[in-house]
Structure formats: structure tokens, C-alpha cells
Chains A and B, each alone.
Chain A
């Protein structure tokens, strides 16, 4: 940003008139303010009055009431925006949203003088505020640009091309001109249009007997509707230097340059009227709305081709009607050809004062039958506005000599690429097969087995729950854990004793047997029997419910174990066999009695 621009921004900000700001006084609208972008302008210079309304909810707000706009040309537009803020206070998060609506009045003064804009008032639901007034001083200047508009015809057919010329005659002070940007908005609903010249150059011309350097903007118009049509005035925006004012010059202006600044002005080209006649009835088949002068040419890439080999048919349609109305030509019957969708190219170019469209279609044809084929009747229907009748652009007949093709060439597949034509219809055949019939209507719910099956998932769930609980108890309750594992431990020890018996190792046998007989009640009762004397062990078993016979057998068996282990007694294998059976019987009784 240059110092000068900076100063200008500061000055505009100073000019901005903040008239009124209301605090939060209503649930929907929070505040409203109005501002003016300048307070000194020249005639034709655009400036803006902006009314900005803030609301806590998204609302479809009405326009403000602004008085005193009669001396100005006014263009209005509005826009909305949203801002949100998140606040964290003492860990509490709150979020607020503001919705801003800006009502923008772009004003252009037609005459010089001092004007007051206002009162400006905004009212919505319970919110009603006077936003004040603003003063604007307008200095009269001569327009920097004048315009002339003309049409090549004032009466045409709908769809027929007509030339619209906008001549812009600038004065010396004009720095730059923006060529019309809003054509689509202004005339797009009624006309299709396209600029004839790609570049617009300034050239000398005589206007009202005087020499000027002018810009001519030439636009080809195609009326889309019929009836009387109005071409609205098209705005032309330009920039020129503001006349210098030595008294108003600031120190910075004086330092950085002259006092003139660039201002943007707009002039509206004169509106025009024309009439579009509707097309008469009786449009031929294939007519797509082309109005103008058209020609059609067609050519084959080769006059001779083998059956099954491709040949390119190029069709070129050229005319000065609506560019989009040129579509595929009407083709003759090509039953003996395989025809692919054409490749299309299009271009428009100005010739004289008119815009001409050329559209090229390239068809790939594959002849399927040898012989001479005549391609006749490639045409394009259009409406000729000069004669006021429908016409047809047509190419001369084309002759293609098709020689015999190679066996298996693409032409042989012609039939495969055509849609199958149904010549009849019938019901589908019965279902045959070597399968066995079943009762489809016999639902599983009619069988007891299904309900047993239905029980499985709940049982599985219950089982899983029990197993989990059991595992937890094994982990946390050592007595329960020992008691639960007692049987498995006993089984393991007896197995060890039996292995010693099989190998006739008496000491190992009785050691294992003694271990089994001592450990089992220890596991069952969660009390250690190993350190107890025989009378103590017998007393404990009796106290836990073991019968006197069982206690006596227990005592006898352990004594036999001790004799072998510590007194050197040598038992026979039969005695060992009897002892293990006695042990098994004894432990079974203990298991029952200690439960």
C-alpha cells in the first residue's frame, strides 16, 4: 500500500459515519449501524451507504427504510456472514454466534449539490431504531464517457442473429474503462449473446461531426423469446481523475503528488427496443431451432473400402444462427453399415458484422455388405428468415464402393452389436432337477428341536458366567482351589504309585501311596496333614466327619507305608496291589465322608 493510498483509506475511515449503535436490546436483533463510504463525491461517482445489522439468530431481515434517496441512482444488494466465539471460564465452555447482515446501497448522484440521506430506520420484530442521517456533498462534473447504442435490425425472428453495437466515447480524463460485465444478468434471460470481436481496440471515428477515438463493442444477439423485447441500459464503469482542489489538499497530498484522486464513475448506455417474430408452424422433422443461413457439406475419407473396414464420413454444417442449435444432421438409412457416434468439433468466428458457427461431425462407418452404396439425404433443417420459410441444407449424394472384405473382419460382427429385438415372450420353463421336494411351509418354529436349539445360547451364556465365576473363585479362594483340584491331584499321585508298582519299586510305590493318602485329606480340608502324627491326623479326620472304620483304615495304611519306608519291610507285589486297592477304597470313602 502506497502512503497515498494509506492516507486515502484513513480519510475514508474518517468519513465513515457511524450513526447509531444499539446494545443488546432484543432476543433476535442485537445491534444496527449505518455508515457512508464518502461524504464528498462528484456526479456519476458511486459511493455506498451500508446498514449493518447484527442478530443472535439467523433471520431473514427486512431492508431498512432510507429516505432522501431520490436524487441518486440506487443499486441495492445484501449479504450475510456469521462469526462465532468460544469462551472458557472456570472450565465452563460457552459458545456464541453472531449473524451479520449488510444492506448495501450503491448510490450515484445525477446532479451537483448538498444532500441529506435519512432518516435511516431499521425495524424488525421488537427492534425499532432510528440510525440517524448523513450529509453528502456532490460536485458537478462533466461525464467522462458518453455512449451510443444501435441494433442492426429492429424486427427479427426468434433465434435470428442481430448485431448490437455499443459505442463508448471517452474523454481525455478517463484513465480506464471496464467493459460491460453484467450482460448475462441484464439480457441473458431474453437473448443468447456472444461478443463478435475477440479484442476491442480504440479507433478513430466521427461522432456528431467531431473526431473521437472510440471503442465499439459488437455483440451478436439471438432472441430466445418472441414478442416485443427491451434491451436494458448496460452500465459502463470507468475511472477518471477527480478534479484537483488546492484548498483541500493535505500535507501528504502536497508531498506525494497532486491533489486529484482516481474516482470510479458509471454511465448507463441507452436502452433499446426490438421485436422478435415467432417461427411459423410446420417445422420439418429434425428441426432444432436454427434460424439463419446454413450450408452443409459431406465427404467420405475414401470412395472405396473393403467390407468390414472403417471409412470416415465428415459432415460440416455452417450457419449464422444460434450456435447451440446446430446438432447432428439427419442421416439416411445406413442399415448396411455399422455406425459409431460421431466425433464433434465446433467453432465460431466473426465474418463481417456476423458471427458464424461451423460444426463438424465425423462418423466412422463400417460397411457390412459389398457393392455400391449411395449415401443420399444427409441434411440439416433450418428456418430461412430472409424468405420466411423452412429450408433444408443438403449435401449431394455420396457414392461408396464396398469391395469384398477379409473373412472375420469387423464387419462380420455387425449383428453382435445390434440390440436384440424381441419377437415374442413367454413364461420361463419349469424347474427340473434331481432334487427332493421339501416342506417350505414347514417352519422351524413348529419343531421342538428348534426350541431346544433356542435354549443353547442362553445356556452358553449361563455356562460362561458360571465358568468365569468358578475361575475367579479358584484364583481368590485357596481352600476352594485345593478342594477342587484334590481329585485331579489324587489321580496323578495314584498313577505315579501304579507306575512304581508296575516296575516293582516298593519304596517308590509306598512313597507315592503315602503322599497320595496324606495329600488328599490335606487338599479336601485345606489343612496340612504332613506334619501331624498319626493320632493327630486320626483325631482331625474324626472331627471332620470320617467314620471310625475309615480312620482306622487310614491309620493302618499309613503305618504300612512307614514300615516299608523307614523300617525296611519288603512287601510282595500282591501285598502292594492289595495296598493300592485299599488306598483307592479308603480315599473314595474319605471323599464321601469329608464332603
Chain B
């Protein structure tokens, strides 16, 4: 009898408890089933991102040569490869701005801001481009409380928000778990800390859910043509209300076929052809 056999026999004394055998088996099966699919998807995505990165670098080189049309073309190819990177959108917006395509430039600055809301370069260039828009729409005044809430809401990206929420959730449960092994005082403190984290999660969740909703649905539209006409209903037979110029940003209220019901920050609104706008 060799040493291996002895080990196998002894290992039976240390084997997985029968109650957990089924769970361990299911986990193993799940991992085995999911792993190839995940690996394939990851590889495919990875190859697409590699190609996109190549096109992105080509675009950067063209931009540095002041060949903005070539740069814009390269950035478009990178985007077609499936990359949704805030830096790509920002660079493409810069190229479009240099090509005097104000509407598409603002559209891409807005897209970049959606993914990276605190990036100072994106905010600067977006404001710079907005200053060129023919239509000046005054923002309604907001009180300090609303401004503070909005600042907090816009201070993180959706991806960061998900990890913040996960951190709060995991932190709270781990603190609860830690409480099982602490003295009564330590347990009380861990429960309080966990409660605070859960409360923070509760307060944070509405902001995150709203942001995720915005992430998944287009909520703003930018006028891409020199002039877009807004009607009182979804059709050109309705009353023409006003004309908005290239780069004006609307909030999308609803969709009716090829028409978008939109409104401006000052409350004015109407129906505009979706084809005249780009959606963020």
C-alpha cells in the first residue's frame, strides 16, 4: 500500500459535509457551464477593444497633425468596434468641433459627460461649445438644497455608482457577520456601523437608479442640423412653435413614431423630428 492510498483513505475523514455536497456540485457545474461562454465573450470583446484602441490611436495621430477629418473618421471606426469610452467620445467631439460641426460635437461631449461626469476637460469643452450655440436658453434658478443634491448626483459615473452601492451592501453585511465574533459592545458597534451603511445605501439608491435609467435610455437630444423646427404636435401640419439652432440640447419627454416630444430647461417644448437630433 503506497502513500497515495493512505492519503485517500485519510482524506475521507476530512471530506465535505454531506449537507454541502449538493451545493458544491451545483457550483462546480455552474462554473463549468458558464466559464466557456464567459471566456468566449470576453475574448470577443477584448479583440474588438484592441481594434478600437488601434483606431483611436490613429485618430489621435491625425488630430495632432491637424487632419481633423481623418481623426474623426478614425474615431468613428473605433466607436464602430464597440468601444464606449468617455475619452473616445471626448476626442471625437474635439475633432467634430474643429470641423465646425457644432451639433455633433455637443452630442459627443454630452455622451462623454454621461460616462465621466466629473472630467474637467469634458465639462470645459462642453461649456465652450455651448457658448457657440445660437440659442441661449436660461436655466431656471435652483435653490441651494437642489443644487447640492444635483452636484452629488452628478459627481459619479454609473459604473462607479454600482461599485459604491456594492461596497455599502457588502460592507454592511460583513460588519453584521463580524458582529458574531465580537464582544457585546463590539457587536453593538458593528450593528450600528452596518445600519449606517445600509441607511447610506438606502439614500444613495434613488440617485443610482435614476442614473442607471438615464444610462439605459436616451434622455436628451441635441439638434444636429443648422435649424430644427418644433411643432405643437407630432407632424408638420401642427402649429410651428419655434425654431432651435444647431447644438441646442432638449430633454426628451416621449416618442411618437419619428417625432420626439422635447422640452427646454426654461419649460418651452414641442415636437421635433428625431432625424434632426442626436440622442444622448
Contact = CB atoms under 8 A, between A and B. Distances in A.
Interface stretch (B77-85, B146-154, B228-236, B237-245): B77-85
A454 B166 CA distance: 8
B53 A436 contact: yes
Contacts of B78: 437
Interface string A117-130: 00000000000000
Given A430-B63, A430-B90, A456-B170, A442 B14 contact: no
A433 to B, nearest CB: 8
A430 B47 CA distance: 24
B174 interface: yes
A466 B198 CA distance: 23
Interface in B81-123: 82-88, 90-91, 94-95, 97, 115-116, 121
A441 interface: yes
Nearest to B60: A432
Contact of A428 (B125, B174, B176): B125
B9 to A, nearest CB: 5
B178 interface: yes
A384 interface: no
B162 A440 contact: no
Contacts of B172: 457
A453 B166 contact: yes
Contacts of B115: 440-441
B276 interface: no
Interface residues of A, number: 44
A464 interface: yes
A438 B85 contact: yes
Contacts of B6: 581, 584
Given A427-B125, A464-B178, A584 B212 contact: no
Contact of B116 (A440, A448, A461, A464): A440
A494 B82 CA distance: 62
Contacts of A441: 84, 115, 215
B83 A438 contact: yes
A494 B12 CA distance: 14
A444 B163 contact: yes
22 contacts: A430-B60, A430-B63, A430-B95, A432-B60, A437-B49, A437-B83, A437-B85, A437-B87, A438-B83, A439-B49, A439-B84, A441-B115, A443-B159, A443-B212, A443-B215, A445-B162, A445-B212, A453-B166, A454-B166, A461-B173, A491-B10, A494-B10
Interface of B: 1, 6, 9-10, 12-14, 34, 38, 45, 49-50, 52-53, 56, 60, 63-64, 78, 82-88, 90-91, 94-95, 97, 115-116, 121, 124-125, 128-129, 157-159, 162-163, 166, 169-170, 172-174, 176-178, 180-181, 212, 215
